[in-house]
Amino acid sequence: MTLDTVKHAEQTSDTPQPWAELGLKQDEYDRIREILDRRPTGAELAMYSVMWSEHCSYKSSKVHLRQFGEKAPQTDALLVGIGENAGVVDVGQGYAVTFKIESHNHPSYVEPYQGAATGVGGIVRDILAMGARPVAVMDPLRFGAADHPDTKRVLPGVVAGVGGYGNCLGLPNIGGEVVFDACYQGNPLVNALCIGVMKHEDIHLAKASGAGNKVILYGARTGGDGIGGVSVLASETFDDSKPTKRPAVQVGDPFQEKLLIECTLEIFREDLVDGIQDLGGAGLSCATSELASAGSGGMRVELDTVPLRDATLSPEEILMSESQERMCAIVEPGKVERFLEICEKWDVIATVIGEVTDGDRLEIFWHGEQIVDVPPRTVAHEGPVYERPYARPDWQDALQADDANALPRPAGGDELRAAALALISSPNQASKAWVTDQYDRFVQGNTVLAQPEDSGMIRIDESTNLGVAVATDGNGRYAKLDPYTGAQLALAEAYRNVAASGATPLAVSDCLNFGSPEDPDVMWQFAEACRALADGCLELGTPVTGGNVSLYNQTGDTAIHPTPVVAVLGVIDDVTRRTPIAFAEEGQLLYLLGD
Amino acid sequence: MARVVVDVMLKPEILDPQGQAVQRALPRLGFDGIADVRQGKRFELEVEGPVDDAALARIRELAQTFLANTVIEDFAVKVEEKQ
Amino acid sequence: MARVVVDVMLKPEILDPQGQAVQRALPRLGFDGIADVRQGKRFELEVEGPVDDAALARIRELAQTFLANTVIEDFAVKVEEKQ
Amino acid sequence: MTARVGVVTFPGTLDDRDTQRAVRIAGAEPVPLWHRDKDLQQVDAVVLPGGFSYGDYLRSGAISRFSPVMESIIAGAKDGLPVLGICNGFQVLTESHLLPGAMLRNNHLHFICREQKLRVENANTAWTADYTAAQEISIPLKNIDGRYTADEHTLDELEAEGRVVFRYVDVNPNGSLRDIAGITNAAGNVVGLMPHPEHAVEPLIGTGQTDGLGFFTSILKRLVNT
Ligand SMILES: Nc1ncnc2c1ncn2[C@@H]1O[C@H](COP(=O)(O)OP(=O)(O)O)[C@@H](O)[C@H]1O
């Protein structure tokens, strides 16, 4: 097997490449050739294809998400805005809070336990990478019909996965949602949120600067997780044997992640990192290109130094591996020794894999031979952007006209009784204790409010009682009826839930779960929801600080209900003044606010 | 009554955090010379009636659909000799 | 490299809810004729060097002190044939 | 003088910081102990906190039990050092054979998190002197491997010698034999229980009650009085 080096690519410009199998479009492949002025090497093709995927590049959603910045309300609270791993909000007393919600929908359908578990793991690393100690998680979930046989497979697995991972990390679960609707049958929604706390001066960003600084990969060894797609590269370009069978499923190791958290926090405490990035969806491709793209110089990486779990991995596979529980840090040479010592203390494997250069290229080597030479921005931040066509569906009017007034009314006491019983015993109204009992809500000893409260609340300073509250809400049925109003209702509900707990709402994160962006109906729903959230946030004075877009949520041609899930974060000076939902004592008066 | 054993192991390419944790503990316990540890499950089924080909086929089916999660696990079925 | 397998099962007198859960699910899956199910653990150890009596004695010691908790579990050690 | 209470951190320990806080709130001085260090820094008592040490891999507590710090703790416990094991700490104590029996997967096979009512059966141990016998307290419980098991002979002996320290009341949340939630060794210096007193030491937080504080004030009084 010959290595597809940069030099080799220059000399073999006409070699056909499996760009389509990797999900690239003809014009995207052409653009890569134009950027490089030659054909990409296999490793470069691997990087571009993952980084330009919908999941990493937001190519269909970007034009709409821009409104969150353009219409952002004036606020002094925002310390770090959209674009970083997670937004950071000033909550006073020198504290900053970061929070973000992400989806892990498709993996959770394939392998519910591991899909949900690694979803929690991923969002926790995002929060950690900002410099924060993760302090709580939440999990808005949506499943198919409660009595459908496949729900029996998916729901217990997802709940056990969320709990198994979060409990083992020691993160209290302070809220979430469980919704059943047949539209999620083949496509459950597993959204996970994490909240982290730090002091202002501890904020860290994902950028590689300072020529000579070292690039350190630390955490789990790299294995073949989640690289099903890229196997075609290993086979078709270099080797005519059949593609090696690689697991598409990522398996989580929460114990490793717990060590990674404690180790990273100790590294932050000693001020040993310049820039840091977690390894998420696109693994090393993403971490190296994003760090280099956001920084001032270039980067050089010796890929063969990456510690492997499976010695047979090709360089392309190493670049694309989605093995969990890994982080990448930029460290000044003088601090490397101490960095490695702390990793050793926590039994975390750490390896210097490269360094920041004074050039402007991302260069990757394999046993001394160059296999990647790209401008990092073109990989990480200047991917394709699509203006997908969208239009209000022609069925929308009929849907809206078909309102509840047309439904038969219960006639007489018996029918009314039956209707009331049906309502309160429906799975969407029933107690969620079967789920929430499997989640640790007490760990860390700072939980002020958790289930069955409308929002979760965490104390962040023991001496002053400063705290934060977070609520997540969403209603796909409302959003289907009218995506604009539905999205705003979700925002308003989360906002109210935070306010009702006694906290002042400060910031918003969202997870936009929609069908295929190639369907103009879906694209319209998406556009409407974005416009609604941007308008709503402006009106309420709470900026969107980050979030996640999950598209292609559909079974065959049928999309899920458009499901924007909105999280609102609020601050409360003194958690002893929180307002729980229960009546506190006899004789209290009930008021109804609003109309 | 005959005993049929179903062994379920993670596929070789899948991360096995449990096995790794065990392996990493071995040197501390003074054991070396063990290059790898994988941890899986063992099911012992007590079967009524004869364990013929039909019975084994049914147990294989059970392993495939229920005892193992074939997305990430392999399994092996064997009849255990009576002692 | 040789493989040594250590099987660890709960002692017969100890309640095994995992095995019971499997057994209870069987009729629903259309399987009957299985009188009992017990679930235990299987460890596959890849041993460097020869698996002689001394090596086996050490592995038995490892199973006894570490892989099994003999308050509740029994274990069996066997060398697996190379395929 | 104030009492120094060691709080051990294994890789994967979760409740060490909470336990330190509980020790502090009770008025003692928490001393962090690291699993790799044999040196117990002359602490007067030790708490093994909850969590998932080593991910609960193999069996809960099975890997931690072989750490250097445990060598010193096992030796100390045999000489009368007060040791409290909470949840994972209890599992470490049974794996170390400082306490009899073993912990198995909950009978319903799920992780369970709830406020759990307990009856104090023995208020004479180093860790329960601030309670009264038969007092009922409510503290959080959260585990997946919480089913206490021992053979009949051991169970009879524990009961005959008054070494069952806590029993579950109203609900047995995990199938523990004879509703046992916590036990002590013959000398009464080593106590282990599954529920989490350290999560119930402040009003408003967690359960909103302080029923767990008695563990930490008990040991403080014991140490200061001797
Ligand atoms: N998946 C979940 N994870 C954690 N908490 C949840 C989850 N689902 C529901 N909850 C919590 O359970 C409680 C009741 O939920 P729910 O019945 O949906 O209440 P509501 O309709 O008031 O939002 C809330 O505190 C909610 O945060």
Q: How confident is the model at residue A439 (pLDDT cuts 50, 70, 90)?
A: very high
Residues 1-40, chain B, touching A (beta carbon < 8 A): 10-11, 13-15, 17, 20-21, 24
pLDDT reading at A242 higher than 70: no
pLDDT reading at A403 higher than 90: no
Q: Is A220 on the interface with B (CB under 8 A)?
A: yes
pLDDT at A238: 37
pLDDT at A246: 52
Query: Which chains touch A (3+ CB pairs under 8 A)?
Result: B, D
Cα separation, A331 vs A210, in Å, equals: 9
Dihedral (CA of A416, A420, A425, A428) sign: positive
Count the Cβ atoms, other than its own, within 10 Å of residue A592: 5
- Chain B residues whose CB is inside 8 A of the A110 CB are 71
pLDDT reading at A233 higher than 80: no
Structure token digits, residue D50: 């909850």
Percent of chain D with pLDDT over 70: 100
Chain centroid offset of residue D51 CA: 12
- Chain A residues whose CB is inside 8 A of the D56 CB are 168, 255
Mean pLDDT of C28-48: 92
* Domain count for chain C: 1
Distance (angstroms) between ligand 1 centre and the Cα of D53 equals 29
Distance (angstroms) between ligand 1 centre and the Cα of A96 equals 26
Contacts of A271 (CB under 8 A, 6+ apart): none
B22, B31, B41 ranked by CB distance to C42: nearest: B41
pLDDT at A75: 85
C-alpha to C-alpha distances, A94 to A207, A306, A450, A499, D95, nearest whole angstrom: 24, 38, 25, 22, 44
Q: Are A372 and A380 in contact (CB under 8 A)?
A: no
pLDDT at C44: 97
Residue of B nearest to D67 (CA): B28
Q: How confident is the model at residue A239 (pLDDT cuts 50, 70, 90)?
A: very low
Structure token digits, residue B78: 């064997």
- Chain A residues whose CB is inside 8 A of the D21 CB are 445, 462
**Interchain proximity D113–A459, CB inside 8 Å:** no
Q: Is B28 on the interface with C (CB under 8 A)?
A: no
Which helix or strand (DSSP H or E) is residue A149 part of? Answer: helix A149-169
Q: How confident is the model at residue A281 (pLDDT cuts 50, 70, 90)?
A: confident
- Each residue of B40-75: b (16+ CB within 10 Å) or e? bbbbbbebeeebeeebeebbbebbeebbbbeebbeb
**Å from D19 to nearest chain B CA?**
26
- From A139, A62, A144, select the one nearest A567 (Cα to Cα): A139
The one-character DSSP state at A429 is T
pLDDT at A2: 79
Q: How confident is the model at residue A244 (pLDDT cuts 50, 70, 90)?
A: very low
pLDDT at A205: 87
Q: How confident is the model at residue A241 (pLDDT cuts 50, 70, 90)?
A: very low
Residue of B nearest to A114 (CA): B72
Query: Which chains touch D (3+ CB pairs under 8 A)?
Result: A, B, C
pLDDT at C27: 87
Structure token digits, residue A317: 């596979």
**Å from B17 to nearest chain D CA?**
8
pLDDT at A235: 45
Q: What is the signed CA dihedral for D164, D170, D174, D177, rounded to 10 degrees?
A: 40
pLDDT at A7: 96
Beta strand pairing status for D102-104 and D147-149? antiparallel
Segment B15-64, tens digit of pLDDT: 999 999 999 999 988 888 899 999 999 999 999 988 899 889 999 999 99
Segment A83-134, tens digit of pLDDT: 778 899 999 999 999 999 999 999 999 999 999 999 999 999 999 999 999 9
Segment A544-584, tens digit of pLDDT: 999 999 999 999 889 999 999 999 999 999 999 999 998 88
Segment A1-58, tens digit of pLDDT: 579 999 999 999 999 999 998 889 999 999 999 999 999 999 999 999 999 999 899 9
The one-character DSSP state at A335 is G
Residue ranges per structural domain of chain D: 4-224
Beta bridge partners of A546: A509
pLDDT reading at C38 higher than 70: yes
Cα separation, A79 vs A274, in Å, equals: 18
pLDDT at D1: 59
Q: Whose CA is nearest to atom 9 of ligand 1?
A: A177
B41, B46, B66 ranked by CB distance to C29: nearest: B66
pLDDT, chain C, mean: 92
D66, D101, D109 ranked by CB distance to C71: nearest: D101
CATH of domain D4-224: 3.40.50.880
Percent of chain A with pLDDT over 70: 96
**Interchain proximity A442–D142, CB inside 8 Å:** yes
Mean pLDDT of A236-254: 59
Q: Is A178 in the pocket of ligand 1 (CB under 6 A)?
A: yes
Q: Are B3 and B50 in contact (CB under 8 A)?
A: no
pLDDT reading at A245 higher than 60: no
pLDDT reading at A337 higher than 90: yes
Count the Cβ atoms, other than its own, within 10 Å of residue A202: 18
- Chain B residues whose CB is inside 8 A of the A118 CB are none
Q: Is C25 on the interface with D (CB under 8 A)?
A: no
Segment A485-539, tens digit of pLDDT: 999 999 999 999 999 999 999 999 999 999 999 999 999 999 999 999 999 999 9
Cα separation, A13 vs A39, in Å, equals: 5
**Å from D64 to nearest chain B CA?**
9
Whether the link from the prior residue into A140 is cis, omega within 30° of 0, is: no
For residue C37, give the 3-state DSSP assignment: strand
Segment A383-393, tens digit of pLDDT: 999 999 999 99
**Å from A518 to nearest chain B CA?**
30
pLDDT at B49: 86
Residue of B nearest to D57 (CA): B18
pLDDT at A584: 83
Tell me which residues of chain D have a pLDDT lower than 50: none
Verdict on whether the full-model pTM lies above 0.90: yes
Residues 58-77, chain B, touching A (beta carbon < 8 A): 69, 71-72
**Å from D216 to nearest chain C CA?**
31
**Tokens 């000399």 map to which residue?**
A11
Q: Are A208 and A289 in contact (CB under 8 A)?
A: no
**Tokens 């995207």 map to which residue?**
A28
- Environment class of A558 (CB within 10 Å of its CB; exposed 0-12, middle 13-18, buried 19+): exposed
Contacts of A11 (CB under 8 A, 6+ apart): none
**DSSP-derived secondary structure for D153-182:** HHHHHHHHTT-EEEEE-S--SS--GGGEEE
Query: Is D113 known to be catalytic?
Result: no
Question: What CATH number should be reported for the domain holding residue B70?
Answer: 3.30.1280.10
Domain carrying residue C51: 2-80
Query: Which chains touch C (3+ CB pairs under 8 A)?
Result: B, D
- Active-site residue (options: D35, D87, D121, D199): D87
Q: Is A373 in the pocket of ligand 1 (CB under 6 A)?
A: no
Distance (angstroms) between ligand 1 centre and the Cα of D154 equals 43
pLDDT, chain A, mean: 93
pLDDT at A282: 87
Q: Are D193 and D182 in contact (CB under 8 A)?
A: yes
Distance (angstroms) between ligand 1 centre and the Cα of A432 equals 6
